[in-house]
Amino acid sequence: MDYKLTDTQRAWRDDLRAFFAREFTADMREQIERENSDYSEALYQALARAGYTGLSIPKEFGGLEHGYLDIALFDEEAMLAGVPHGVTSLFSGSVHFAAISLIRIGTADQRRRFLPGILEGRFKFTQGFTEPGCGSDLAAVQTFARDEGDEFVVSGQKIFNTAHLATHMIAVVRSDREAPKHKGISLLIIDLGSDGVTLHPTYTMRGWRRNIVTLDEVRVPRINLLGRLHRGWYDLMSVMDLERSGVRQPAERRAALKEILDYVRSTERDGRPLIAHPEVRSMIADLYRDLVVGALLSYRVVWMQETGQDATSYASYQKIFNSEAAERMANAAMEVVGPGALVLGRSQADRRWAPLGRLLTKLYQDCRIWQIAGGTSEIQRNIIAQRVLGLPRE
């Protein structure tokens, strides 16, 4: 197996790099930094104008029809360019998840109603999975959809989503309370402007907004049932694959490592450049090893998907490895910077005391996120223990 890029793939990567250099402007970056925000609508619209919102959509529906590897290259370049999480989260929810779901399990009418809006950047989708009482055990969802013929009437709560930026939510709901839990679930496309939808903001420790969405007798037309009634669990499992490679995490660490390297190269301690200290060199070598191994695991997932293999086990390996590598990086960077790591780098003037500006704060506050979001590390370990090694459930 060889992960070298073809000429066409290299050209695609170069185009993407040029796009982000040109379109992710200094003004957008400044606004994100000033507002300590994780979103830029202007950048999302630039992505739509360039057609990238059609990345995975077949040409017959107006998309670019790129495969797994090209999509991975897109994700990688976005992270190397520093695209914030709100944009990547909405982009994934709309393009990697909603558009793919509409194509694989949606009706012709749904594709006609929703795909053009996704392509044009008018419709943005968030994932309505997690609830106050369930996340890891998603099949235990309690949000209930009462079947009233032409409509479902939905009540419940969804948390941790990006509904404040989205126009629609694909919600995992219970549609049959009598059936075994995996067999009474359906997927509904909910217009977030509907009566009965209210949003309450919550914030991550980094300051990213997420939401508690309360659904109170929300009327959802039956034509918004996505996939099969009561078989939503199985349909959901068939559309989640684009989320699994995790290529964004090593790419994000690669961008951070570049800044850390610049710092250790240009800073002296005890009359010697930091990079001349053996312990610093060894720390940098470990971080670089984590980058290479993490990227290889992610690319292995992409390659397995591209060649039609089941990548579940490798998806779990990469997720545990990459999310724990993020924590190792945060700890190592704090160690090497020393007391300055504890200073909040709020302005240029603070740079003297916080030499890496906000980078360390971001690394530290973000480093546990991927050990939770998208399936916790414990759940990944359960998958390895049970599905790969055949060990019994507890």
Which 81-120 residues touch ligand FAD, going by CB under 6 A?
none
Note whether 186 and 145 are within 8 A (CB).
Answer: yes
- Decide if residue 202 touches ligand FAD (CB under 6 A): no
What track of x and - describes contact with ligand FAD for positions 204 through 223 (by CB under 6 A)?
x-------------------
User: Smallest Cα–Cα separation from 336: which of 293, 289, 285?
Assistant: 285
Note whether 75 and 124 are within 8 A (CB).
Answer: no
Binder of ligand FAD out of 121, 135, 184, 355 (CB under 6 A): 135
The least CB distance from residue 325 to ligand FAD, in Å, is 17
The least CB distance from residue 121 to ligand FAD, in Å, is 19
- Decide if residue 317 touches ligand FAD (CB under 6 A): no
User: Smallest Cα–Cα separation from 160: which of 109, 239, 213?
Assistant: 213
- Decide if residue 162 touches ligand FAD (CB under 6 A): yes
Q: Closer CB to ligand FAD, residue 153 or residue 240? A: 240
The least CB distance from residue 170 to ligand FAD, in Å, is 10
Total binding residues for ligand FAD by CB under 6 A?
Answer: 21
What track of x and - describes contact with ligand FAD for positions 359 through 378 (by CB under 6 A)?
----------x--xxxxx-x
Which 250-289 residues touch ligand FAD, going by CB under 6 A?
none
Angle subtended at Cα 20 by Cα 15 and Cα 21, rounded to the nearest 5 degrees: 95
Q: Residue 203: beta bridge partners?
A: 209
Q: Closer CB to ligand FAD, residue 159 or residue 354? A: 159
Residue 116 DSSP label: H
> In this chain, which stretch among 16-24, 126-134, 185-193, 342-350 interacts with ligand FAD, using CB under 6 A?
126-134
User: Smallest Cα–Cα separation from 244: which of 100, 142, 106?
Assistant: 100
The least CB distance from residue 354 to ligand FAD, in Å, is 24
Q: Closer CB to ligand FAD, residue 53 or residue 126? A: 126
Closest residue to ligand FAD, based on beta-carbon distance: 135
- Strands 125-128 and 168-174 turn out to be parallel
- Decide if residue 127 touches ligand FAD (CB under 6 A): yes
DSSP secondary structure of 71-113: HHHHHHHHHHTT--HHHHHHHIIIIIIIIHHHHHHS-HHHHHH
Binder of ligand FAD out of 129, 263, 299, 317 (CB under 6 A): 129
Angle subtended at Cα 199 by Cα 83 and Cα 117, rounded to the nearest 5 degrees: 55
Q: Closer CB to ligand FAD, residue 284 or residue 363? A: 363
Residues in contact with 273: Cβ distance below 8 Å, sequence separation at least 6, in sequence order:
264, 265, 266, 267
- Decide if residue 153 touches ligand FAD (CB under 6 A): no
- Decide if residue 249 touches ligand FAD (CB under 6 A): no
Note whether 244 and 250 are within 8 A (CB).
Answer: no
Note whether 197 and 221 are within 8 A (CB).
Answer: no
> In this chain, which stretch among 13-21, 42-50, 104-112, 160-168 interacts with ligand FAD, using CB under 6 A?
160-168
DSSP secondary structure of 184-247: SEEEEEEETTSTTEEEEEEE-TT--EEEEEEEEEEEEEGGGEESSTTBHHHHHHTT-GGGSS-T
The least CB distance from residue 126 to ligand FAD, in Å, is 6
What track of x and - describes contact with ligand FAD for positions 21 through 60 (by CB under 6 A)?
----------------------------------------
User: Smallest Cα–Cα separation from 73: which of 17, 139, 114, 148?
Assistant: 17
Q: Closer CB to ligand FAD, residue 152 or residue 160? A: 160
- Decide if residue 382 touches ligand FAD (CB under 6 A): yes
Q: Closer CB to ligand FAD, residue 229 or residue 240? A: 240
User: Smallest Cα–Cα separation from 194: which of 163, 149, 173?
Assistant: 163
Q: Which residues in this chain contact ligand FAD in the complex, by CB under 6 A?
A: 126-130, 134-136, 160-162, 204, 369, 372-376, 378-379, 382
